[in-house]
Structures are given as C-alpha cells and as structure tokens.
C-alpha cells in the first residue's frame, strides 16, 4: 500500500517521497514542499536482510530493522530519508547508515532540543526548522514561501483536530481497535489531505451514545505492533479508550492557542504544544499529569504500558507510570515486545489475564 | 559555620589520619605476599597518592551538604561554572564505576529493578539508582545534592537518569543540551549551547547563593585546560616502547580529570604522575615486564573485570597502550579557553567523541592506532552503552582493513557482571591473542 501511494503521488502530482524514522518531525515542512512522508517504524517482523547484524542484538528492533531495510534496498522507492534525532540509537543509525554504508540517496536530520520549553530551546528549534527547510527546498526544487507553509500548517491542524476528535470520542466510534489503528496509522504514509478525508468520513459515523461495550483502557507506549495485540485486547474484554502511543496520540497536537500570524512562529508553537514525550525529555511530573488526565477523561479502568525492548526513553518512565496509577488504584500491565510479526503466547496470556482482572474490577462495564 | 568547619576539617585533619591507616594496612597486606611475581612491571608510586586524592574527595563529600553547595554532575558536564561557584561536585558515573569495580552492581541493580527499572537500562544508571533507593554506598555517604547538572553530550540516557534522580530526591535539574554533531557543529547549535551555559550561570548562582565571579571562572577554566593537557601528557607517555604503564592503570587514573577537573589538586596529581611516567620511560621501565604486543581499547572499561582482563593479556605480553575512553578527557578539555570561558566551553563540550558522528570516531581510532603504534584493537561492545557501541561492527572492519591490524569485538558490559559470559568471552580473548603468535 505504501509503495502504491508513493507511485500514485509521484505519477499524479510529481511528489517525491521521503522515508522518515520515528518519532517526531516537522511534517508540515515536507507537506509544504510537496514531499510525501512515509514513516518507517522498523518495519515490524524479522529484519529484511543481513545488515541488521551491523547493529548489536542489544539495540532495539526499530534501529536494527531499519538499517536492514534501508541497506537491503527495500526503501529504494523513496527519494530520501529523514532521521529525527529521537534517541541515542537513531542518532547513531543516522551516521551509521549514511556515513558507513546502507543509504546513498539524500539524507536529512532533525535535531530536537531536550527538556523543558525554554527560550533557548525555542530559538534553537526555529533555527533547526529553517535549516531543515533549506535542505529540503534544495532537494524538492520548490521554494518554501510563507503561503505554502501557512497552508501546510492549516492542513495539519485540521488533521490533528480530526485525529484528536476521533480519539476523544472513542467510545462512540463504531470501530474495533484494529480498525481504528489501521485508520489512524494510514496517516503515517498517506498524503495528509487524503488522510483527512478518511478521518472526516470516520467522524461522520460517530454514534450519539457510546457503542463500545468493553472495559476502557489507557494505552501508553511506543507503537501498536504487532497489530494482533489490539484484537487480543478486544478479545479479552478491553478496548483502547485513551491513547498515548508515541506513534499515535503523542503526535496529536491538541492545545490550540490562537495560531501566530507568522507561520514560522506558529510552527515553533505547534512543536512545543505536542503532548509530553519521553524522547523529548519531557518532565516526568508533567507527563504523569497528562496521562492521569487522559485516564480520567476516558474513564479508563486499567493501563497498558506497551514498550519495546531496549527502548531506554520509554523504559525509564515505566516506574513513574506504575507509581502514578497505583496511587489511583488503576491496574497496570507492562508488556515488552520486539516488533515481532505475531504476538507471543505469553503476551496473549498476560493480556487475557489483564482483561479478566479489569472485568472483575469494581465499576467495570 | 559549624558544617563548613567540619567539611574543611574532614579534608585537612581527619582524612590524613584515615589514609595513613589505609596505607599501613596496605603495607601489611603486601608484606604477606610474595614480591616480584606476575607479568606486570613495578607498580606506579603515584597510585598511593591517587587513592588518597580520591578518598579525600569522597571523605570530604560526606560533610559537604550544608557546608558548601553540592551538585551531582554528569561526566561531560561543563563543570567550570560550578567549580567557580564553589560547588562540591559528585559524579554518579564515577561513583557507579567504583561500585562496579567492587562488584556491587548486581546488588544495587536488584534494588533498582525491584523498583521497576528495566535491566536493559545502562548499568551505571541501575547502580546509581539502586544506591540512591537503598542508601547504600561503598564510600560511606554521598552528600545530598542541591542541584543536578546534566549534559547530553555523552548520551540522552543521562537526561532520563537525572530526571529520575530529580524525581526521587526532589532536587532541581539543570540541563545543558548539546545537539549531536554531523561534521562540525553549526552556528545555531553552538549558540543554543552557549545560551544554556549562560542560563546555567544564573541557576547555579542562585542555588549557591552568590553570583558567578567572572575572574574566578577564568581561573578555573585555565586550571581545567591545564588539567586536560597534563592528562594528555600522561597518556602520551605510552607512545614509548615499552609503554611505562598499562591502559588499565589509565582507567583508574582517569578519576581526577573526571571528578576533580578544574582544581589544583587534580593538576598537582597529574604533574606527579607525568613525571613518574617520563622517568619510567627514560629508564625503560614498562607497565609490563615484557611488552610484546600493543593494543588499542575502545569504549568503557569492563570495571568488574579490569584486573582479570589485564592479567590475561599481560601474561602473554599484551598491553593496552591507548584507549579512546581515557583519550576523550585529554582531547576535549584543551579546547576551553580562559579568554572566552563560555563560548569555548560551548564549542568544546559539544564536540566530545560521543556527540559526534562515526567518521569522527573512526578518525580518532585511526589516529590513536598510528600514534601509539598498536598491532591490534579490542572494541568493547558494551551492552549498557548504546551510543558508544552502535557502529562498532563497521568500525572493526574498517580498522582491520585500513590499518592491517587484528580487531576483536568483545561483548560485555561496563558494570554488570551478569551480562558477561566469562568462559566464552575469555576463550574469544585467548583465540584473539593466539592470532598474533
Ligand atoms: S530506542 Fe526507542 S525511541 Fe529509539 S529507535 Fe528504539 S524504539 Fe525508537
Ligand atoms: S555508560 Fe553510556 S549510556 Fe551509560 S551514562 Fe555513560 S555514556 Fe550514557
């Protein structure tokens, strides 16, 4: 499907495609320059090619799989690749693949400031956005006018508003979790305007009253892979009522202060308005308050923490998440995976037991 | 006042009594052993002074909180500002390494794991968090910090680690974030780091209760640069054949440049060490009795097994004459400039080895290999340190092909013996050494 989209965008609109490594990046810039972003979350399953062996087995499967995928020529349908400096591992992958072999087409980087929103970080982000924009302009052959940027910002605001509305009205959405995430994750590679159309179509199906009958669960973690996890959760009697996946909810910018007239300022504001994410060094207290608010709003009765093995940014927050919800009396299940193609038997058993526990919990639906 | 007096006294009076006692115990122990055995050359005289210096630092630290401002600091932090403000600094990495040498990591890590921290996190972190959560330490007591000071130039892990320390200890965290460098840092990267250093001066000044004295900062910067230069001279002594000490000695002697950078005590110590090493070079005294092969080491030491490794290697005439780890502290520090303490610190601390791309790393390994005339290299693939380890598979191949040397990728962990498969690991080491014969 991704390759089909890349072909279609190229043939119909003359758009080039850029593969993008997780997690956060200024997609607005790519859209403004008519570049199709195609995200590369691994991809899941066993690594495709021997180059995975160039990264030690104690590194997360996202990085190992991505190197194998890029070096094995599986991403040759795209024209460039963007490495956001998400963590130590992607940072190293960016230099490994481009400097020591694995990727020969154009490569771009986006460097995040870490920690709190502060004036120095804002100035750095704006300069970094302008630097990236400059290299993407040269690559795409388009000039980034303020009008183009403003239009892209408006489009992405709409996309986020629709994604946020779907997640907020989750209980009234007549989709199971597998269908919901298939829809939301198409945004990782579809042209944003086309994705918006399908989001709006889904919004039109919202029922006036809740249709979800399972136990509401807050999910926080990295990426909903393997997708079978969702069906298992539903089968166990739960459903995702609130999402804090890095790949999904953590990238929906909900805070909407009046957008600045200057599109560069508006872009910087959007960057800092995103939900707290450990990969950007968010303050733990702020993040726990955010998760607690998500749980409260959605009426979640349990918390599923779904992390990837060896993923330090996520793993560091696990004790704080457990502690935050223990004090609220919400059960927490921590599942650790490796981007495997199928859900392990052990994970299935634990999810089922978790479902039973939640259904037995007071107030469970 | 009283606490300050006790802090000063701990250094000046009580401490020498304790070190004298330790030296006496050491002599007693040594006299019971057979002298002259083993593959190593005569021990360095300076070691005793090193022990005193570091024991003094930790001993005085017990009385630091309440007497002087205290900061816990990452190893790559631009410490000159804190030093100029009179902070007593504690390096959790250094403390964790100390625990690693004493094989305390499994015990402390168990505490951290019981609190929910994954065993896949850096073992320095698990050691430190376990130590904090259990209040156990082999140094008696660590002073409670008033400030946590973290710089991301060695890894992002330190930020996550220090956020957790901040959460557990309820202490503010000051961050100097250094974006990763591909090639050379851009103007906006350096401007960002410089601006944060200026923020640091204000925050640390507030915590210490006095503003930063610009002249004092110049003085400390000069001292820190001199310390790095002296440390570089100590390392450079190993260009001689035989090398006057072993790379393993270097791992231990790094402590002052990490923990006491910017102090006269650090520089005084390295002058002493440099003079001793140069004297050994002049007299042809080696770190090994017989140096047959010269090796380069990349990445952190395997703290819990350094003696074992060095003995296995030394028994067959192998010496680490250079390590990228110890070299990093000599390289980076000389770039700071007393004429521009903040601007030069921004540039220098952004360009440390772990904050730069792999071609830069390859250049460093190539240069060290040539300068120290090594005939082999061991790249420690460190389960706990991803930023230092990712890329080593390619680095191994390139070093071997370009320089025609044997290169071993050895998987271990810098602090956690549970991640080290001793028998197969030592067999690989033995097979590597056999390849030279
Ligand atoms: S360590 Fe975590 S954030 Fe980094 S690439 Fe791997 S999964 Fe993603
Ligand atoms: S050992 Fe590596 S991961 Fe751990 S703190 Fe040091 S640089 Fe960071």
Cβ-based neighbours of B404, under 8 Å, separated by 6 or more: none
A115 and chain B in contact, CB less than 8 A:
yes
Share of chain B above pLDDT 70, in %: 92
Distance (Å) from the alpha carbon of A275 to chain B's nearest alpha carbon: 17
* Residues A69/A50, Cβ–Cβ less than 8 Å: no
Q: Is 90 exceeded by the pLDDT of residue B189?
A: yes
Give the per-residue pLDDT at B32: 43
What pLDDT sits at residue B18?
Answer: 45
Contacts of A99 in chain B (CB under 8 A): 357-359
Rounded average pLDDT over B285-291: 97
Q: What is the mean pLDDT of residues B399-421?
A: 96
Output the DSSP codes for A175-237: --HHHHHHHHHHTTTS-HHHHHHHHHHHHTT--SS----SEEEEEEES---STHHHHHHHHTT
Q: Is the pLDDT of residue A364 over 60?
A: no
Average pLDDT over residues A9-32: 97
CA distances from B63 to B7, B365, B431 (A): 5, 42, 50
Beta strand A302-308 with A215-221: parallel, antiparallel or unpaired?
Answer: parallel
pLDDT of res. A1: 80
In this prediction, residues A187-200 reach a mean pLDDT of: 98
Q: What sign for the dihedral angle of Cα B128, B133, B134, B140? A: positive
Determine how many CB atoms are found less than 10 A away from the CB of residue A272: 16
Q: Is the CB of A90 under 6 A from ligand 1?
A: yes
- pLDDT on residue B1: 58
Check residue B14 and give its pLDDT: 43
Cβ–Cβ of B175/A281 closer than 8 Å? yes
Q: Given CB atoms, is A55 within the 8 Å cutoff of chain B?
A: yes
Is A2-141 CATH 3.40.50.11890? yes
Residue A66: other Cβ atoms inside 10 A: 31
Q: What is the pLDDT of residue A150?
A: 96
CA–CA separation, B69 and A340 (whole Å) = 49
Chain A residues within an 8 Å CB radius of B164: 284, 316, 319-320
Q: A111: distance to nearest CA of chain B, Å? A: 6
Q: What's the burial of B417, exposed, middle or buried (CB within 10 Å: 0-12/13-18/19+)?
A: middle
pLDDT digits (tens, 9 = 90+) for B63-112: 998 899 999 999 999 999 999 999 999 999 999 999 999 999 999 999 99
B156:A88 CB<8 A: yes
Q: What is the mean pLDDT of chain B?
A: 92
Per-residue tokens: B252: 């231990």
* pLDDT of res. B343: 98
- d(CA B39, CA B36) in angstroms, rounded, equals 9
pLDDT in tens, A125-149: 999 999 999 999 999 999 999 999 9
Rg over alpha carbons for chain B, rounded to the nearest Å, is 21
**Above 0.85 for ipTM, yes or no?**
yes
Question: Residue A172 carries which DSSP code?
Answer: G
Task: For the sheet with A80-84, list strands across it.
Answer: A35-39, A16-20, A80-84, A107-110
Phi, psi of A70 (to 5 degrees): -65, -50
Average pLDDT rounded to a whole number, residues B129-149:
95
CB-based contact B171:B148 (threshold 8 Å): yes
Contact between chains at B386 and A284 (C-beta distance less than 8 A) = no
Residue nearest to atom 2 of ligand 1 (CA): A311
Decide: B155 in ligand 2 pocket, CB within 6 A: yes
How many residues comprise chain A?
A: 365
Mean pLDDT (chain A, rounded): 95
> Taking 70 as the threshold, does the pLDDT of residue B25 lie above it?
no
- List, for residues A296-322, the tens digit of each pLDDT value: 999 999 999 999 999 999 999 999 999
8 Å CB contact between B362 and B402: no
Closest CA to A252 of A336, A314, A162: A162
Chain A from 264 to 323: CB within 8 A of any B CB? 278, 281, 283-285, 309-310, 312-313, 315-320, 322-323
pLDDT recorded at residue A188: 98
């Amino acid at each position: 499907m991704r390759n089909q989209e890349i072909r279609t965008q190229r043939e119909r609109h003359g758009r080039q495609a850029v593969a993008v490594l997780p997690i956060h990046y200024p997609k607005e810039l790519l859209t403004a320059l008519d570049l199709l972003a195609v995200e590369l979350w691994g991809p899941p399953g066993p690594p495709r090619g021997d180059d995975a062996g160039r990264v030690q087995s104690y590194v997360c499967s996202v990085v190992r799989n991505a190197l194998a995928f890029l070096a094995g020529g599986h991403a040759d349908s795209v024209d460039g690749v963007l490495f956001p400096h998400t963590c130590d591992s992607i940072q190293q992958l960016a230099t490994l693949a481009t400097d020591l072999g694995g990727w020969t087409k154009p490569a771009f980087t986006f460097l995040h400031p870490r920690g709190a929103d502060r004036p120095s970080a804002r100035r750095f982000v704006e300069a970094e956005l302008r630097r990236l924009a400059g290299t993407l302009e040269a690559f795409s052959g388009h000039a980034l006018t303020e009008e183009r940027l403003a239009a892209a910002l408006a489009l992405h605001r709409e996309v986020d508003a629709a994604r946020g509305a779907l997640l907020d009205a989750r209980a009234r959405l007549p989709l199971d979790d597998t269908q919901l995430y298939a829809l939301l994750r198409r945004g990782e590679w579809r042209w944003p305007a086309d994705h918006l159309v399908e989001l709006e179509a889904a919004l039109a199906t919202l029922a006036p009253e809740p249709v979800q009958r399972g136990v509401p669960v807050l999910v926080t973690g990295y990426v909903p892979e393997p997708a079978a996890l969702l069906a298992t959760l539903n089968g166990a009697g739960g459903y995702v009522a609130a999402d804090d996946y890095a790949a999904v909810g953590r990238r929906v910018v909900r805070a909407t202060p009046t957008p600045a007239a200057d599109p560069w300022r508006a872009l910087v504001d959007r960057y800092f308005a995103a939900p707290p994410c450990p990969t950007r060094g968010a303050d733990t207290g702020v993040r726990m308050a955010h998760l607690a608010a998500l749980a409260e709003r959605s009426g979640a009765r349990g918390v599923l923490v779904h992390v990837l093995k060896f993923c330090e940014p996520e793993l560091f927050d696990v004790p704080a998440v457990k502690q935050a919800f223990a004090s609220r009396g919400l059960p927490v299940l921590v599942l650790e995976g490796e981007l495997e193609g199928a859900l392990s038997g052990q994970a299935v058993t634990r999810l089922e037991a978790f479902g039973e526990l939640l259904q037995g919990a007071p107030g469970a639906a | 006042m009283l606490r300050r007096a006790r802090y000063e006294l701990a250094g000046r009076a009580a401490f020498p009594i304790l070190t004298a006692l330790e030296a006496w115990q050491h002599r007693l122990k040594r006299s019971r052993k057979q002298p002259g055995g083993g593959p190593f050359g005569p021990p360095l005289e300076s070691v005793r002074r090193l022990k005193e210096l570091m024991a003094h630092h930790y001993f005085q630290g017990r009385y630091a909180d309440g007497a002087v401002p205290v900061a816990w600091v990452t190893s790559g932090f631009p410490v000159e500002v804190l030093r100029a403000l009179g902070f007593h600094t504690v390096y959790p990495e250094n403390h964790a390494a100390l625990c690693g040498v004493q094989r305390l990591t499994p015990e402390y890590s168990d505490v951290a794991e019981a609190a929910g921290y994954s065993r896949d996190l850096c073992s320095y972190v698990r050691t430190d968090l376990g130590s904090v959560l259990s209040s156990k330490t082999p140094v008696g007591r660590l002073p409670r910090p008033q400030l946590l000071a973290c710089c991301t130039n060695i890894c992002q892990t330190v930020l996550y680690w220090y956020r957790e320390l901040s959460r557990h200890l309820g202490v503010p965290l000051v961050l100097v974030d250094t974006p990763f460098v591909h090639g050379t840092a851009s103007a906006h990267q350096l401007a960002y780091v410089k601006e944060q250093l200026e923020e640091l001066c204000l925050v640390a000044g507030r915590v210490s209760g006095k503003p930063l004295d610009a002249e004092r900062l110049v003085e400390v910067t000069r001292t820190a640069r001199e310390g790095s230069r002296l440390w570089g001279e100590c390392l450079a002594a190993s260009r001689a054949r035989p090398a006057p000490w072993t790379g393993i000695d270097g791992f231990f002697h790094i402590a002052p440049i990490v923990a006491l950078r910017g102090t006269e005590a650090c520089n005084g110590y390295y002058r002493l060490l440099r003079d001793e090493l140069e004297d050994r070079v002049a007299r042809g005294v080696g770190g090994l009795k017989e140096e047959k092969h010269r090796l380069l080491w990349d990445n952190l030491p395997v703290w819990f097994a350094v003696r074992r490794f060095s003995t296995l290697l030394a028994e067959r005439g192998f010496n680490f004459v250079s390590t990228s780890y110890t070299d990093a502290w000599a390289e980076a520090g000389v770039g700071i400039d007393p004429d521009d303490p903040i601007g030069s610190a921004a540039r220098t601390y952004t360009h440390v080895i772990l904050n730069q791309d792999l071609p830069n790393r390859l250049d460093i390994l190539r240069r060290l290999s040539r300068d120290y005339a090594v005939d082999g290299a061991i790249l420690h693939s460190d389960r706990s340190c991803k930023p230092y380890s990712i890329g080593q598979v390619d680095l191994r191949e390139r070093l071997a092909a370009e320089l025609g040397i044997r290169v071993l990728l050895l998987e271990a962990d810098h602090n956690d013996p549970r991640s080290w498969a001793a028998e197969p690991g030592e067999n690989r080491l033995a097979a590597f050494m056999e390849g030279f014969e």
